[in-house]
Amino acid sequence: MSRTAILRQMQADLQQCRRCGLCQGRTQAVLGAGVPNSRIVIVGEGPGRNEDEQGKPFVGRSGQLLDRMLEEVGLSRNKNVFITNIVKCRPPENRDPQPEEIAACRVWLDQILALIDPKVILCVGRIAATQLFDPHFRVTRQHGETRQLDGRLVMATFHPAAILRNPSYKEMMEADLRKLAQLIEEDGML
Protein backbone atom coordinates (compact mmCIF):
# COMPACT_ATOMS: atom_id res chain seq x y z
CA MET A 1 0.00 0.00 0.00
CA SER A 2 1.27 3.50 -0.76
CA ARG A 3 1.81 6.03 2.02
CA THR A 4 -1.14 8.01 0.68
CA ALA A 5 -3.41 4.95 0.92
CA ILE A 6 -2.19 4.15 4.44
CA LEU A 7 -2.81 7.74 5.55
CA ARG A 8 -6.30 7.58 4.07
CA GLN A 9 -6.97 4.37 6.01
CA MET A 10 -5.55 5.92 9.19
CA GLN A 11 -7.79 8.97 8.73
CA ALA A 12 -10.80 6.62 8.47
CA ASP A 13 -9.70 4.56 11.50
CA LEU A 14 -9.08 7.73 13.50
CA GLN A 15 -12.74 8.72 13.15
CA GLN A 16 -13.58 5.62 15.25
CA CYS A 17 -11.03 6.45 17.97
CA ARG A 18 -12.41 6.45 21.53
CA ARG A 19 -9.08 6.42 23.36
CA CYS A 20 -9.88 9.57 25.38
CA GLY A 21 -12.76 11.86 26.27
CA LEU A 22 -12.02 14.36 23.50
CA CYS A 23 -13.88 12.10 21.08
CA GLN A 24 -17.15 13.18 22.72
CA GLY A 25 -16.91 16.79 21.61
CA ARG A 26 -15.40 16.41 18.17
CA THR A 27 -17.00 16.94 14.79
CA GLN A 28 -14.05 15.33 13.00
CA ALA A 29 -10.76 13.97 14.21
CA VAL A 30 -7.87 15.54 12.31
CA LEU A 31 -5.01 13.24 11.34
CA GLY A 32 -2.87 15.68 9.39
CA ALA A 33 -2.28 16.98 5.90
CA GLY A 34 0.50 17.51 3.43
CA VAL A 35 2.98 15.57 1.38
CA PRO A 36 3.17 11.93 2.50
CA ASN A 37 6.84 11.47 1.62
CA SER A 38 8.06 14.80 2.98
CA ARG A 39 11.30 15.05 4.96
CA ILE A 40 9.72 17.54 7.38
CA VAL A 41 6.84 17.04 9.78
CA ILE A 42 5.41 20.03 11.63
CA VAL A 43 3.62 19.27 14.89
CA GLY A 44 1.13 21.66 16.48
CA GLU A 45 -1.09 21.33 19.51
CA GLY A 46 -4.56 20.23 18.47
CA PRO A 47 -7.46 21.15 16.22
CA GLY A 48 -9.37 24.36 16.88
CA ARG A 49 -12.89 25.14 15.73
CA ASN A 50 -12.10 25.45 12.01
CA GLU A 51 -9.94 22.34 11.97
CA ASP A 52 -12.62 20.35 13.80
CA GLU A 53 -15.20 21.44 11.22
CA GLN A 54 -13.03 20.88 8.14
CA GLY A 55 -11.05 17.83 9.26
CA LYS A 56 -7.75 19.47 8.32
CA PRO A 57 -4.95 20.87 10.49
CA PHE A 58 -4.09 24.56 10.69
CA VAL A 59 -6.81 25.99 8.45
CA GLY A 60 -7.90 28.88 10.69
CA ARG A 61 -6.18 32.22 11.21
CA SER A 62 -3.07 30.80 12.85
CA GLY A 63 -2.83 28.16 10.12
CA GLN A 64 -2.95 30.80 7.42
CA LEU A 65 -0.19 32.70 9.18
CA LEU A 66 1.86 29.51 9.49
CA ASP A 67 1.41 28.80 5.76
CA ARG A 68 2.59 32.31 4.86
CA MET A 69 5.62 32.09 7.12
CA LEU A 70 6.56 28.66 5.76
CA GLU A 71 6.18 29.88 2.16
CA GLU A 72 8.73 32.59 2.87
CA VAL A 73 11.39 29.95 3.46
CA GLY A 74 10.31 27.64 0.63
CA LEU A 75 8.22 25.24 2.71
CA SER A 76 4.62 24.30 2.06
CA ARG A 77 2.16 21.54 2.83
CA ASN A 78 1.50 21.36 -0.91
CA LYS A 79 5.15 20.79 -1.73
CA ASN A 80 7.41 19.40 0.97
CA VAL A 81 5.86 19.35 4.45
CA PHE A 82 3.38 17.23 6.41
CA ILE A 83 1.48 18.94 9.26
CA THR A 84 -0.13 17.24 12.23
CA ASN A 85 -0.91 17.85 15.91
CA ILE A 86 -0.20 16.35 19.32
CA VAL A 87 -3.90 15.59 19.84
CA LYS A 88 -6.20 14.78 16.96
CA CYS A 89 -9.49 15.99 18.45
CA ARG A 90 -10.44 19.50 19.51
CA PRO A 91 -10.25 20.15 23.24
CA PRO A 92 -13.39 21.94 24.52
CA GLU A 93 -13.12 25.75 24.32
CA ASN A 94 -9.60 25.22 22.91
CA ARG A 95 -8.19 24.49 26.35
CA ASP A 96 -4.76 22.84 26.58
CA PRO A 97 -4.90 19.09 26.00
CA GLN A 98 -4.50 17.22 29.30
CA PRO A 99 -1.61 14.80 29.95
CA GLU A 100 -3.89 11.75 29.76
CA GLU A 101 -5.33 12.95 26.43
CA ILE A 102 -1.84 13.55 25.06
CA ALA A 103 -0.73 10.11 26.23
CA ALA A 104 -3.80 8.40 24.76
CA CYS A 105 -3.27 10.11 21.41
CA ARG A 106 0.45 9.41 21.17
CA VAL A 107 -0.06 6.18 19.20
CA TRP A 108 -1.42 8.20 16.28
CA LEU A 109 1.54 10.57 16.24
CA ASP A 110 3.95 7.66 16.51
CA GLN A 111 2.25 5.92 13.58
CA ILE A 112 2.46 9.06 11.47
CA LEU A 113 6.14 9.54 12.28
CA ALA A 114 6.88 5.87 11.56
CA LEU A 115 5.09 6.07 8.23
CA ILE A 116 6.47 9.37 6.97
CA ASP A 117 9.86 8.87 8.64
CA PRO A 118 10.89 12.53 8.44
CA LYS A 119 14.46 13.79 8.84
CA VAL A 120 13.21 16.93 10.61
CA ILE A 121 10.45 17.65 13.11
CA LEU A 122 9.41 21.24 13.79
CA CYS A 123 7.37 21.67 16.97
CA VAL A 124 5.20 24.76 16.92
CA GLY A 125 4.28 25.84 20.42
CA ARG A 126 4.82 24.68 23.96
CA ILE A 127 2.59 21.60 23.93
CA ALA A 128 4.40 19.98 20.99
CA ALA A 129 7.79 21.10 22.27
CA THR A 130 7.29 19.61 25.74
CA GLN A 131 6.40 16.28 24.14
CA LEU A 132 9.07 16.07 21.45
CA PHE A 133 11.84 18.52 22.36
CA ASP A 134 12.23 19.13 26.11
CA PRO A 135 9.68 18.47 28.89
CA HIS A 136 10.68 21.77 30.50
CA PHE A 137 10.61 23.74 27.25
CA ARG A 138 10.54 27.54 27.60
CA VAL A 139 9.79 29.12 24.26
CA THR A 140 11.44 32.49 24.80
CA ARG A 141 14.69 30.79 25.84
CA GLN A 142 14.81 27.71 23.63
CA HIS A 143 13.06 28.60 20.37
CA GLY A 144 15.27 27.87 17.39
CA GLU A 145 17.47 25.39 19.26
CA THR A 146 17.86 21.97 17.71
CA ARG A 147 18.45 18.48 19.06
CA GLN A 148 18.51 14.92 17.83
CA LEU A 149 15.66 12.55 18.66
CA ASP A 150 15.66 9.01 17.28
CA GLY A 151 17.96 10.07 14.47
CA ARG A 152 15.85 13.10 13.59
CA LEU A 153 16.62 16.78 13.90
CA VAL A 154 14.04 18.46 16.13
CA MET A 155 13.52 22.20 16.42
CA ALA A 156 10.90 24.01 18.47
CA THR A 157 9.51 27.45 17.80
CA PHE A 158 6.54 29.67 18.63
CA HIS A 159 2.95 28.70 17.94
CA PRO A 160 1.48 30.96 15.25
CA ALA A 161 -1.40 31.78 17.61
CA ALA A 162 1.20 33.29 19.96
CA ILE A 163 2.44 35.46 17.09
CA LEU A 164 -1.13 36.65 16.45
CA ARG A 165 -1.44 37.57 20.13
CA ASN A 166 2.01 39.08 20.34
CA PRO A 167 3.37 40.23 16.95
CA SER A 168 6.71 41.15 18.51
CA TYR A 169 7.55 37.41 18.47
CA LYS A 170 7.19 37.23 14.69
CA GLU A 171 10.77 38.15 13.84
CA MET A 172 12.08 35.46 16.17
CA MET A 173 9.90 32.81 14.56
CA GLU A 174 10.96 33.99 11.10
CA ALA A 175 14.60 33.65 12.13
CA ASP A 176 13.94 30.11 13.43
CA LEU A 177 12.31 29.13 10.14
CA ARG A 178 15.19 30.61 8.14
CA LYS A 179 17.64 28.62 10.26
CA LEU A 180 15.60 25.46 9.70
CA ALA A 181 15.44 26.02 5.95
CA GLN A 182 19.20 26.56 5.86
CA LEU A 183 19.89 23.34 7.79
CA ILE A 184 17.61 21.48 5.39
CA GLU A 185 19.34 22.97 2.38
CA GLU A 186 22.85 22.27 3.70
CA ASP A 187 21.85 18.68 4.25
CA GLY A 188 20.30 18.37 0.77
CA MET A 189 17.14 17.04 2.41
CA LEU A 190 14.52 18.33 0.01
Binding residues for ligand URA restricted to 84-103, rule: CB under 6 A: 85
Q: How far apart are CA 190 and CA 185, in angstroms?
A: 7
Q: Least distance to ligand URA from the beta carbon of 62, Å?
A: 5
Residue 85 or 130: which CB sits closer to ligand URA? 85
Q: Least distance to ligand URA from the beta carbon of 51, Å?
A: 4
Residue 85, beta-bridge partner list: 44
Kindly list the distances between the CA atom of residue 18 and the CA atoms of 52, 89, 141, 142, in Å, as whole numbers in the listed order.
Answer: 16, 10, 37, 35
Which x/- pattern, by CB under 6 A, does the window 36-75 give for ligand URA? --------xxxxx--x-----xx---xx------------
Q: Least distance to ligand URA from the beta carbon of 125, Å?
A: 6
Q: Which residues of 108-135 are buried (b: 16+ CB within 10 A; e: fewer)?
A: bbebbbeebebbbbbbbbbbbbbbbbee
The amino acid occupying position 165 is: R
CB-nearest residue to ligand URA? 44
Count of Cβ atoms closer than 10 Å to residue 147 Cβ: 13
Residue 94 or 182: which CB sits closer to ligand URA? 94
Q: At what angle do helices 99-116 and 3-14 cross, to 10 degrees?
A: 160
Residue 34 or 63: which CB sits closer to ligand URA? 63
Q: Least distance to ligand URA from the beta carbon of 41, Å?
A: 13
Q: How far apart are CA 38 and CA 29, in angstroms?
A: 22
Q: Least distance to ligand URA from the beta carbon of 30, Å?
A: 6
Residue 125 or 187: which CB sits closer to ligand URA? 125
Residue 153 or 161: which CB sits closer to ligand URA? 161
DSSP label of 147: E
Binding site for ligand URA (CB under 6 A): 44-48, 51, 57-58, 62-63, 85
